[in-house]
Amino acid sequence: MSRPLSGWGRYPKIAPETLARPRSDAAVAEAMAKGPLIARGNGRSYGDSALSEGQVLDMTAFRHILSFDPQTGLVEAEAGVLLGDLIAAFLPLGFFPFVTPGTKLVTLGGAIAADVHGKNHLRDGSFGHHVAWIEIMTAEGEVLRCTRASNSGLFQQTIGGMGLTGVILRAGLTLRPVETGWIAQDMRPARDLAEAMAIFEEAAADADGPTYSVAWFDCLGQGAALGRSLVMLGDHARLEQLTPRRRARPFVTPEKRRLNVPLDAPGFALNRYTLRAFNGLYYRAGARKAGPSLVDWDSYFYPLDAIANWNRIYGRRGFAQFQCVLPLAEARPGLEELLAAISEAGQGSFLAVLKRLGPDTTAHSFPMEGYTLALDFPVTPAALALLDRLDKITLDHGGRFYLAKDSRLTAQTLHAADPRLATLAETRRSEGWDARFASAQSRRLQL
């Protein structure tokens, strides 16, 4: 028995029977022979995607960058390499990941397995769209190289497959050429949901519009302030947008001060009053900074990475993330219903994030054309009850759920929302993958 592990939300905590840290393909195959397992990267999925009562395979020793081609931007690396490592290595050469989630502390393998998305899904799709190949340890214990052309079935299923199709060992990823390490941001305050959505839609309709768009939401706003938000539009800054001094060293950005949350916050530290005050402050501070500005890549994409262990602010019990996507046609009424339910319950969230997603072309990844809302809640009985309500609202509006955030959905809700996952489950059974690869989440959700 190993010590208990958890995801980033610190809920649930599950001690695996065996925790192995392989350093070679052979060691992965050896672990597989011992029983079903789930690969784990840097533990940044929120719930139980990378947890198991059985065997957990810590892939962090697979941490080598293997090659880089500055002509094509193709980097080849082992699955445990962090996105942050790729940025550190290749931004100085003028390359940045095409797609990044809100933390750079995710592994390449994890980003593929969850097929993460960023603030530019509409423009650039999800992470998997930029993956050229994946080397997978299959259920048969063989190392198989999969691309869109060869072994394409396994390639497509592994993208967004939550580690349930095999162990991702290595992958090739195409990076985006950029001229600078800066983002030209345009911050737009929106007084309510309609205004925020109008900003998103205007940006979406313009083919030359901003690459990135995201809104920070105040979930505790009531009545007229329901959906009060800051919409942040952004583009990679071009060289001529920098001051001459910065232009000389376009990839050098200021070192950020690192903060840490050294201890669990006591349970009373976060309640609707402190949250309301915090959200109000944030909105007013943001509204003051409205308009265009240059922001360094780290502050723009990863503001929370600067606060180590920020997940501790929710206290010892941990927190649950909720992230759903609603189809475009249902987005407005669905979001209104979700926000009203949250506001009514008074279970606020530090971070409520709204993004516009583009059309989906994957086997079973989360995104679909529409709007995605993400929030987190401390794990309390009241919050869990609210989350059940939010599930129901999402289902009623034809939405679906993001497995990388989930720790508590029921199998019934999930399969009702996303019939594609029944196909995954069926393939797993017929191919015998379910006997090799299983997580606490896959068991709970009958995947």
Partner 1 sequence: MKDPVLILGGRSDIGLAIAHAFAAEGHPIQLAARNAQGLEVQGKDLSLRHRVEVSLHEFDALAPDSHEAFVTGLEPRPGVVVCAVGLLGDQQEDERDMAAAIRVMRTNFEGPASVLGHLANRFAAEGEGVIVGISSVAGDRGRGSNYIYGSAKAGFTAYLAGLRNRLAGDGVHVLTVKPGFVATAMTEGLDLPAPLTAQPEELGAAVLRAVAKRRNVIYTRPVWRLIMGVIRAIPEPVFKKLSI
Cβ closer to partner 1: 63 or 415?
Answer: 63
Contact (CB, 8 A) for 16 and 2? yes
Specify the 3-state DSSP secondary structure of 389: helix
Q: How far is the CB of 65 from partner 1 (least distance, A)?
A: 5
Q: How far is the CB of 334 from partner 1 (least distance, A)?
A: 45
Helices (DSSP H) in 79-146: which residue ranges?
83-90, 108-113, 121-124
Cβ closer to partner 1: 88 or 382?
Answer: 88
Partners of 188 in beta bridges: 231
Q: Quick one: tokens of 303?
A: 């503001």
Q: How many CB atoms lie within 10 A of CB 214?
A: 21
Cβ closer to partner 1: 85 or 135?
Answer: 85
Nearest to 162 by CA among 58, 76, 51: 51
Cβ closer to partner 1: 80 or 125?
Answer: 80
Which residues in this chain contact partner 1 in the complex, by CB under 8 A? 21, 23, 63-68, 85, 88-89, 92
Cis amide leading into 12 (omega within 30): yes
Cβ closer to partner 1: 104 or 397?
Answer: 104
Q: Strand 55-58 vs strand 18-20: parallel, antiparallel, or unpaired?
A: parallel
Q: Quick one: tokens of 42?
A: 């840097």
Cβ closer to partner 1: 48 or 58?
Answer: 58
Q: How far is the CB of 135 from partner 1 (least distance, A)?
A: 13
Q: How far is the CB of 25 from partner 1 (least distance, A)?
A: 12
What is the b/e burial string over 375-405, where b = at least 16 CB atoms within 10 angstroms of the residue's CB?
Answer: bbbbbbeebeebbeebbebbbebebbbbbbb
Nearest to 261 by CA among 211, 210, 305, 291: 305
Residues 6+ apart with CB under 8 A from 16: 1, 2, 5, 51, 52, 53, 54, 55, 56
Cβ closer to partner 1: 37 or 325?
Answer: 37
Nearest to 184 by CA among 302, 297, 304, 84: 297
Contact (CB, 8 A) for 374 and 321? yes
Q: How far is the CB of 94 from partner 1 (least distance, A)?
A: 13
Q: How far is the CB of 64 from partner 1 (least distance, A)?
A: 4
Residue 30: left (phi > 0), alpha (psi -120 to 50), or beta? alpha
Cβ closer to partner 1: 208 or 255?
Answer: 255
Q: How far is the CB of 263 from partner 1 (least distance, A)?
A: 15
Residue 48 CA to residue 374 CA, distance in Å, equals 17
- What 8-state DSSP symbol labels residue 407? S
Residue 213 CA to residue 191 CA, distance in Å, equals 17
Q: CA distances (Å), 154 to each of 108, 139, 311, 402, in order?
A: 17, 11, 34, 21
Cβ closer to partner 1: 64 or 288?
Answer: 64
